[in-house]
Each structure stands twice: as C-alpha cells, then as structure tokens.
Structure 1
Amino acid sequence: MNRTLLETWFKLTENKTTVKREIIAGLTTFAAMSYVLIVNPSILSVSGMPAAGLITVTALAACIGTLLMAAMTNYPIALAPGMGLNAFFAFTICLNREIPWEAALGIVFWNGILFVLLTVTGVRTKVANSIPDCLKIGVQCGIGLFIGFIGLKNAGLIIDNPATLVSIGDLSDPAVLLAFIGVIFTLVLVIRNVTAGILISIVVISLIGMLIPTENGFLTARPDAIVGMPEPISSTFFAMDIMYPIKHFAATWDLILALMFVNMFDTIGTLIGVSRKANLLDENKSLPKMGKAMTADAAASVAGAALGTSPVTSYVESAAGVSTGGRTGLTAVVVGLCFLLALFLTPIMKVIPLMATTPALVIVGILMMESIKELDFDDLISLATASVALIAMPLTFSISEGIALGFITYVGLKLGCGKYKEVSPFTYGLAFVFLLRYWFI
C-alpha cells in the first residue's frame, strides 16, 4: 500500500502525523491492551462457555471493532471485549442469574442493537445527560471493585468463610503467594509507566511458575509449541439465542439496560479521555464524530455477540498509542492487524495460569477507581449514592444489583430531602421500575 493511498484514506498530513509514527503508535496500543487475549477468555470460561476458541473469538472481535472505528471515524482508538462487561456477562448474567451462556450472548446482541438505535436517533445523549454524575461514578468504581475482587478470589487470595463471609487465603501456597507478589510487581510497572506493563507481568509470573514444582508438575504448564494455528470458533459462532431475551423479557430487561448503561458510561468516558489527549476535541470540548464512534462501538458488540463474546468497547489503553503520536485510524488498523497476528501464539496463551491473570484484573480494577476523585464529597447525597452502588456490586456479586440500588438510593434521598425537582423523569422512571422488580421477585 503506497503512501498516497494512506494519505488519502487517513489524512496523515492534515492530522500532522506520518506512517512511521502511526505504526509505532499502533504497536504501542496493542502492547498495552494485548492482555485482553489472556484475561477475557479466562473470565468468559467461568460462564460455562467452551474454552477452546475463546482466544480466537477475543482477537477477532477486537480486530473487527477496531477496524470499524478506523473506517467510521479515522480515530486512533482500539476496541476489544471490555473488562467489567465480561465480568457482568460471566458472573452476573450466567452465574448469578443462572442464564445459559447462549442466552447471555442474545442479551449482548440486543444490548448492541439498542445501543445503535439510541445513538442513531440521538436519544443516547439525552439518556446519558439525565443520569446523575454521582451514579455514573459509583457504577464505574463499583465495577472496578468487582473486577479486583474477582481477581483476588480466582487466585485464592480471598476465600469464603462461614463466619465472616470472606477471609484471606493461604499465603503459604506458592500459587497464592506468587499472585500477590505479581500484583505488587504489576503495580510498580504501571506506576512507572512501563509500556505493556500488564502484559509483561503476565509473562514474567507465568515463567516463574514454570520453575515452581507441584505434585502434578509445575505451577505453569509447558506449552506444546510456541507458534500454532488459531483454534476454531465453531462452538460459539452464531450460538447466541436471540429469542431468549424476548421470551423471557421480564427476567432479562434489567440486564439489557444495565449492560447498556455500563457500556455507555465506559465508552463515552474513554472516547472523551483519549480524544482529549489526541487533541481531537473541537472548540466546544466535544468529539466531532461522537455519534459515529458510538455506532462503531455498538456495532462491534453485535458482531462480538455473533462471534461469541461479551460486549466490545473502546479501550482506554488507546491513550498509550496516542501518547507516542498516533492521530488517525491508521493506528487503529495496525492494532487490528496485530490482534490477528497474535492468534498464531495461541499455544502460549493457553497455558497462562490464573495466578498470572490475577494482577491484571486487580490493576484494571484499581484504574477504574480513578474516577472517584470526580465525586463531590461535600454533597452527602452524591456520596451516599455512589457508595451504595460501588459497595453493592462486589458484595452482591452483581453489577446490575449495584446499578438498581444506586438509582433507588438517589431518588429516595432526593425525595426525602425535598429536592425532587433535581431528578430527571428518566431517573424517576428507572428507580420506580427497579423497585417494582424487587417487589415482585
């Protein structure tokens, strides 16, 4: 592909960038977010989905979503199955609600369709603006706590206790101790702004695991090969049951709404944050192609459901590539191609143990807590609303319950304090519906 064609497609000169800079940016972004190839399958497999092929599904969904973003917006933003959204899929929908994973994919499909419709009609903006900021913050931070809790639980750092519900695990266990050390090691890398710090920690912990013997071998199994062909996805491809949410609407409507809210908050926050770093915002501090970017995000979720994964969303790790000069969709194209090439390393990714993915989940959870600084701590109503949402998610092991309780708390406090005029009709309606749901359960 010659430079003239790339210039025509991506407007490199207009965006004050070069082919070399865009390629470096794409490689940097991929390195920063490639951990999703390992972590997403480990989370989704908990739902009962067949583990074989989930790495391929993750890579294909990331590639399609990222290329859609490049084609529709020419922005240097990459997409992949979202952290938090995959936890919602596996733990809340499949485990907590006991919904089959095929039906859960159907819920993801309708979530994507609804997201597209709201974006195309412009209703998305009204919905987003009608939800109080304190609830948005509480939801994002709650998901962060939930993801971190899942990571600690998977590693055995947190275990169940009949007297106190939870307790600390056995740190004399080599796998548990290594996971804990891995969390500290990963934090050091992230704090020191090491590119691909999370991926590096996964690799290092896995390699150390190969040196620690167990009764049945080693903590980390040896791969059969370094390079191999991608696994087929026949077991999940178009396995979604799109009729389940329709037939069981009373049992799934809140899950579809919760997915939409989480995806919407995550996407808008990521798009604005990354775009600000890339100087893509206009004079009004708005993203010129926000509608197209949201449509690409929603369409990617529909495609992801067809492939067999949880909702696909924009990744904040795109900021890593932007920091190295990425300014156009060429950066995103490079990321998409890297995901395809990474599939040939599937034999290595298949042997990554849970203890190595634990630090990734904990660090992602910590990073999602960053928005807590935007909460108005002087407003007790805002503080209480956010607190209820963020505490409820890990304690109920359900993101949707945290959202529901957050809405009800906010409306109840506003009404009780005589500030009912400050609540939007949409928020009133949702709080009422959530109350009815609890009443009739």
Structure 2
Amino acid sequence: MLEKLFGLKAANTTVRTEFLAGITTFAAMAYILAVNPAILSNAGMPVPALITVTGIAAALGCFLMAVMTNYPIAQAPGMGTNSYFAFVICIGSGLPWQTALALTFWNGIIFLILSVTGLRSKLAESLPNGVKIGIQCGIGFFIAFIGLKSVGIVIAHEATLVSIGDLKAPASLMVMGGLAFMTFLTIRKVSGALLITILGLTLIGLIIPSQGAMVTSVPDGIVSLPSGISETFLKLDILYPIKHFPEIADVLITLLLLDLFDSIGTLVGLSRRANLVRKDGSMPKMGKALTADAVATVAGSLFGTSTTTSYIESAAGIESGGRTGLTSVVTGLCFLVALIFTPIILIVPAAATAPALVMVGAFMAQGLKELKFDDLSEVVPAFITMLMIPLTFSITEGIGLGLTLYSLILLLSGRAKEAPVLSYAISIVFVIYYAFL
C-alpha cells in the first residue's frame, strides 16, 4: 500500500528510511510546539490552546504536502511570521489577535488563488539560477547560524554584532562533539545518523550539569492530555480586513510579501537539495506545493494560529534519506503523538538538535559547486542572497536584494532580455516595498 501511495522504489527509498527521516525532521522542528505558543501569547492568546493548535496545524500541513505533492517537506506555523503576527500586527498596530487571524486567513485565500491560477509558480520559476543557488546555500547558512546561536556558541556583541560564546560550556562541547560524531556516522553511511546523534545527546544531557542544572531537563511526567481549542477555533474577525482595508493595507501587503517569498524560497532550496528539480532547475510540483502551503495557512487561521508554511528544518529529514511524502506523514503523526507525550518531546535540548542544524547547513552549502564562478552576473546576486538570508534572519530579504541586484546588473550590462519580464516586475515590487513599507 505504501509503495502504491508514495512510489518508494521509484524514489530509491524504503519505509524504514522514510520513517527515520520523518522522525528526524520532527526532532529538528519540535521546538515549534513550545516556541509558537510562547510568541503568540504576547498577543494575548491562551497558551494551552495554542500548544494543541500548533500540533494540529503542523500535522495537517504535513499531510497536505504529502498528499498533494509526495514531497518530504514538513509544514508548521512559521517562525518570523508568528513574530510579525504578535509584535507588529497586535502589539505594534494595536489590533486584537482575532483581527490578526483574519489577516492570516485572507493572506491564505489570496495565496490559494495565486497558486491555483499558476501565478505563484511563475513567480518561483522567474528566479534566476544564481538566486536559486543563493537561496539554497543561504538557507544552509541560516540553519547553521540558528543552531550555533541556540546553544550560545555564537552570541550577540555590542561592537561586532556577533561574537564567539563560551566553548568550554557543556552545551558547546556537546554540540561540537555531536557534530563530529554525526559527520563520522554520515561518512560511514549509517542510516539515521542525525536521529541517532540527537537521541544520544539528549540522554547524555541528563547526566551533564550546566549552570546548576542538567542540560536535558527531567520531564514532569510522561503523558499530558491536549488542551481544548475552543478559545481560538473560529475566533477570527473575518470581515474586519474587508471593512477596514485602507487602515490595514500596509500590514496585509507586508504579511503577503513575507509569506510569499519565505515559502517560495524554502521550497526552492529544499527541492534542489532533495533532487526534486528538473534539469533546467524548475520544480515540477511547485504549484501543488504552494497550494498545500496556502490551504494549510487558511486552515491554521481557522484553528487559531499564524501562517503555516514549509519548514527549512525539513532538510534534516531530507539529509537522512527522506524522498517522498511518507516522510511528511511520519512527521505529521509525530506532531499528533507529541500532543499526548508533550513532556517527553520537550525535554530534547537545543544542544541535541544544534549539531543536526549545522550538519544540514553544510549539506545545503554544497550547492555552491553549481555556481558559474566565471560569470559575475550570476555570482554576485547569489552571494548577496546567501549572505543576506542569515544576516537579516529573513529568506524574503535575501531574495529581494539578490533579485533586485540581478535585474540591475543585467540592465546596466545591456543584457535585459536574458531575464523574464516577471523578474523585473518582482524587483520593482521589492523596490516599492523597501521605499514605502
């Protein structure tokens, strides 16, 4: 049955490989069960309900991606857009969270229309090869940076912005040792190398003290019943954006741009790494993937959470061998199971997942070998794209700056016809975005 549904042999994979890959992806992104509620609670939303809603939205997003595309790409409420939801829309603009959910809903509806009509796919295909490579590598650097920052190996610095942390700290030593062990297992082609290391480091963290406590926290229990979602389900003020469009137009447009290019960038980067692209670099099921993304966003807003989108941590499962939608199904099931075993799931420390994120970053950066280094019109936009994604903590900013620079270079070089008209149109949109929004 699984072979018929997911075409495992054609994808050169097995049930065991897909199962391990799905768990690995979940382990890398399970933090969202705690982080998303913590961020959205700043908007006044109830945390217990948000934990349940986050798990449901993630599971639904994973299932949609599996059914509609057969891709090993997981979805969940997105980091970045949840911060925009809480701190910009609700706190900054003074709008209630019910209105923010309505903005998320209409954002998803607009994207669904763009996806079904094929315009969203054309936007993705209009990105030049150099920018696509820059996206893949930039996401790799972004993931690695997040991993190192999460354990204090990279820290903030007033003068230099970032600096080296305490490498003698137990968590830092665990990350470096875990990365070496994970690399060794990968070189030896051990199945589930990333997951084995994550589980091993979690257990080691139970016996290693750090600042008066163990790296891995001892759970309060094993099982916890999921909270109800009646406080958030269908609580969106669905007509507010229509009645007050002039007042919230700038907020909605910014949300659209953030979600549009974050999702496109993530899908482009992950599909390139998983060899899901054609020889010309295009993604055969981009339209369906973006449709799954849009439907998940609409459904998530109805349940009561911010934009649901594809996760860059899916790269962890891809590097573990995940090649079909079965990986996404397993990840989605893990999210549902986690709602019952939340105390166990949440004990996995950052020190256990950070090596996997750094390792994934290294794999993603291998896309550099595809760059035509003798063509600066490709190299420079790619370089700016991959540089700005981690430095601005935004895939959208990397795409915007890289694509705008690419368009300008071609215009100045008298090679304007080499890029599709849509590339220039997107560049103009970003210029307007930076100038006025």
- Structure 2 length as normaliser, TM-score? 0.77
Three-state SS of the structure 2 residue aligned to 1:163 is coil
Q: 2: CA distance between counterparts of 1:227 and 1:191?
A: 37
Match of 2:390 in 1: 394
Partners in 2 of 1:272 and 1:160 — Cα distance?
32
State the partner residue of 1:312: 309
Amino acid at match of 2:248: H
- Report the CA distance between 1:157 and its aligned residue: 0.7
The structural deviation recorded for 1:391 is 1.2
- Residue of structure 2 in register with 1:3 after alignment: none
Give 1:340's aligned amino acid.
L
Question: Take 1:209 and 1:293, find their aligned partners in 2: how far apart are those partners?
Answer: 38
Are 1:39 and 2:34 counterparts? no
Counterpart position of 1:177: 173
| Mapping for residues 10-29 of structure 1, pairs under 5 Å | 11=4, 24=16, 27-29=19-21
Cα offset, 1:213, TM superposition? 2.8
Q: CA 1:107–1:355 in structure 2 vs 1: closer, same or farther (change >3 Å)? A: farther
Match of 2:81 in 1: 89
Cα contact 1:255–1:400 (8 A) shared by 2: no
Letter in structure 1 aligned against 2:414 = G
Give the alignment of 1:407-422 within 5 angstroms: 407-422=403-418
Distance 1:105 1:368 in 2: 33
CA spacing shift, 1:336–1:391, aligned 2, 3 Å? closer
Change (3 A) 1:169 1:413: same
Moved more, 126-135 or 54-63: 54-63
State the shift of 1:251 in Å.
Answer: 4.1
d(CA) in 2 for partners of 1:42, 1:375: 38
Distance change (3 Å), C-alpha of 1:257 and 1:373:
farther
Alpha-carbon separation, structure 2, partners of 1:362 and 1:236: 36
Counterpart in the other structure of 1:368: 364
Amino acid in structure 2 at the alignment position of 1:415: L
Residue in 2 that maps onto 1:67? 63
Partner of 1:263: 263
Give the CA deviation at 1:223: 0.7
Q: Is 1:38–1:55's contact at 8 Å kept on the other side of the alignment?
A: no
The answer as to 2:75 corresponding to 1:80 is yes
Q: Compare 96-105 and 47-56 and name the one that shifted more.
A: 96-105
Cα 1:337–1:433 change in 2 (3 A) is: closer
Counterpart-to-counterpart distance in 2, 1:287 and 1:392: 24
Please name the residue that 1:253 is paired with: 253
1:147 aligns to what SS in structure 2?
helix
- Tell me how far apart the structure 1 counterparts of residues 28 and 234 of structure 2 sit (CA, whole Å): 22
Residues of 2 paired with 1:364 and 1:232: CA distance?
Answer: 36
Residue 166 (structure 1) aligned with residue 162 (structure 2): yes
Q: CA deviation at 1:285?
A: 11
CA RMSD between the two structures: 4.1
Residue 163 of structure 1: how far off its partner (Å): 2.7
TM-aligned CA deviation for residue 379 of structure 1: 1.2
* Residues 96-107 of structure 1 mapped to structure 2, 5 A cutoff: 102=97
Could you tell which deviates more after superposition, 331-340 or 115-124? Answer: 331-340
Q: What are the ranges of 5 or more consecutive residues in structure 1 without an aligned counterpart?
A: 1-5
Report the counterpart of residue 139 of structure 1 in structure 2.
Answer: 135
Matched, 1:357 2:349: no
1:405 CA drift (Å): 1.6
Structure 2: gaps spanning 5 or more residues: none
Q: Which of 419, 426, 433 pairs up with 2:422?
A: 426
Structure 2 Cα separation of the partners of residues 225 and 134 of structure 1 = 50
Cα offset, 1:152, TM superposition = 1.6
- CA offsets, 1:295-322, max 9 Å, x none? 2343123323444254333845368676
Q: Mean Cα displacement is larger for which, 196-205 or 235-244? A: 235-244
Deviations 1:48-72 (A, max 9, x none): 5476566644442343234334555
Match of 1:141, SS state, is: helix
Distance 1:197 1:150 in 2: 20
Relative to structure 2, which stretch is displaced further, 244-253 or 410-419?
244-253
Opposite residue 407 of structure 1, the aligned amino acid is L
Counterpart amino acid of residue 79 in structure 1: A
SS of corresponding position for 1:34: helix
**Contact kept in structure 1, 2:22 and 2:329, CA below 8 Å:** no
Matched, 1:210 2:210: no
Q: Is the contact made by 2:121 and 2:287 (CA closer than 8 Å) also made in structure 1?
A: no
What is the percentage of aligned positions where both structures have the same residue?
39
SS at match of 2:339: helix
The 5 Å alignment of 1:148-163 reads: 148-163=144-159
Deviation at residue 387 of structure 1 after TM alignment: 0.9
* Offset at residue 403 of structure 1 (A): 2.4
Q: CA deviation at 1:348?
A: 1.0
CA distance in 1, matches of 2:139, 2:380: 17
